[in-house]
Amino acid sequence: MSNSTFVLDNGAYTAKVGLASDNVKLVPNCIMKAKSERRRPFVGSQIEECRDASGLFYILPFQKGYLVNWDVQKTVWDYIFSKECCLVNLNQLSVIVTEPLFNFSTVQEAMMEIFFEEYECQSLLRINSCTLSCYQYKTENPNTKCCIVVDSGYSFTHIVPYVNDTKIKEGIRRIDVGGKLLTNHLKEIISYRQLHVMDETYVINQVKEDSCFVSQEFFKDMETAKNKIENNPIIKDYVLPDYTTLRRGFLKNPEPPNEQQTLRLSNERFAIPEILFFPSDVGIRQMGIPEAIMDCLKACDEETWPHLLSNIILTGGNAKFPGFQERIYKEVRSLAPAEYTINVYLPENPVTYAWQGGKTLSKDSIFSNLLVTREDYEEEGQNLCFERFDV
């Protein structure tokens, strides 16, 4: 069965795709237009072929975490299934496709329609990526009863408690801070302090990935960042790419200006990811991740608390910030009752963890019972899908 399953973890920033028998590929889930090549839109991984990625313009299928632009999404999917990327023919395949939590029914209907009527896939499972992460964790640690999945992605951060493989809907918490907001805030700070980069989303996103980290002691680091360069480990220079000799920038120790164009980064390196812990810093009146983890417990039975706290799983792109796992552990430890053990698990690759879960699920004996086949869909239509898929 598993050799004929295609797993599509359809994130708002990257789609994680591939046959279950194959390795995962990361495809940017957007269409990009560059100033250097006006006529040509770059779909997905074609951005590698772009000569000059400065002033790159993004056209995104997702807005605020939900799929709204179907033309763009369809273009990216066509690219993924084409010979340029995966070369698959879906009418012989089962497909696992992920969708956000609390997805709208109209979006779900359109999605089923595209997969069954346009791609004519053999059978389909529509599922939340958090559920796949939970399943993968469960496979790796068969004795766990409960877990909390913290999925910090592009548009949102979700905190989802699972008890006996079932998500506790009342316990789901959403924080409206994701990678997109962090990049945009970094753009604003740099534009205000030194160089106008409001059009350089692509480059500043790389700056964020290469230079930001989560501070373990925010105010102490804030003081350190005020020191003179000689005894200040935080201040670094980021060399910007010029797209002739350098395709991606890099961090280096500060030195007097030379022919390279650099950004001088100091406290923004840790003040940006800090927004995940204190969204109120940028005027978002919500709690940070550690508080939300404690709050989501309150919706679950008290006897599950020790199990939930000892299995906190971090997924999504923001989990890759250095220091993220340690900080979550430290904060949750200080908020939780002392008698509970706390364990925060960071997968080797938090971005592809849900995809791996889909791969593992496709090999499970229960997998075939979860699917809706094309015959079922043609016979019973959308209603069957709403019954079958718990989203």
pLDDT at 337: 92
Q: In whole angstroms, give the CA distance from residue 327 to residue 321.
A: 11
Give me the chain's average pLDDT, please. Answer: 91
Kindly report the backbone phi and psi dihedral angles of residue 356, in degrees, each rounded to the nearest multiple of 5, phi listed first: -60, -40
**Interval 119-124 mean pLDDT:** 91
Confidence class for position 391, pLDDT limits 50, 70, 90: low
Q: Is the pLDDT of residue 297 over 70?
A: yes
Q: In whole angstroms, give the CA distance from residue 151 to residue 317.
A: 9
Q: Is the pLDDT of residue 212 over 60?
A: yes
Amino acid at 247: R
Q: In whole angstroms, give the CA distance from residue 213 to residue 322.
A: 5
User: Percent of the chain, pLDDT > 70?
Assistant: 99
Interacting residues of 99 by C-beta distance below 8 A, sequence separation 6+ = 10, 67, 107, 108, 111, 126, 127, 128, 391
User: Percent of the chain, pLDDT > 90?
Assistant: 73
**Interval 60-86 mean pLDDT:** 92
Sheet holding 250-252, edge to edge: 250-252, 236-239, 262-265
Q: In whole angstroms, give the CA distance from residue 132 to residue 107.
A: 20
pLDDT at 1: 42
Q: Is the pLDDT of residue 130 over 90?
A: yes
pLDDT in tens, 11-53: 999 999 999 988 999 999 999 998 888 788 999 888 888 888 8
Confidence class for position 334, pLDDT limits 50, 70, 90: very high
Q: Is the pLDDT of residue 2 over 60?
A: no
**Interval 233-257 mean pLDDT:** 90
Host H or E run for residue 110 = helix 105-113
Contact in structure between 97 and 80 (CB atoms under 8 Å): no
Q: Is the pLDDT of residue 369 over 50?
A: yes
**Interval 157-181 mean pLDDT:** 93
Confidence class for position 310, pLDDT limits 50, 70, 90: very high
Domains and CATH numbers, the chain: 5-129+352-388 (3.30.420.40), 132-177+285-345 (3.30.420.40), 179-275 (3.90.640.10)
Q: Is the pLDDT of residue 70 over 90?
A: yes
pLDDT at 270: 95
Q: In whole angstroms, give the CA distance from residue 15 to residue 44.
A: 9
Q: Is the pLDDT of residue 388 over 80?
A: no
pTM score, whole prediction: 0.93
pLDDT at 48: 86
pLDDT in tens, 177-197: 999 999 999 999 999 998 999
Compute the CA torsion angle 112, 117, 121, 127 (nearest 10 deg). Answer: 0
pLDDT in tens, 91-114: 889 999 999 999 998 999 999 999
Q: Is the pLDDT of residue 255 over 60?
A: yes
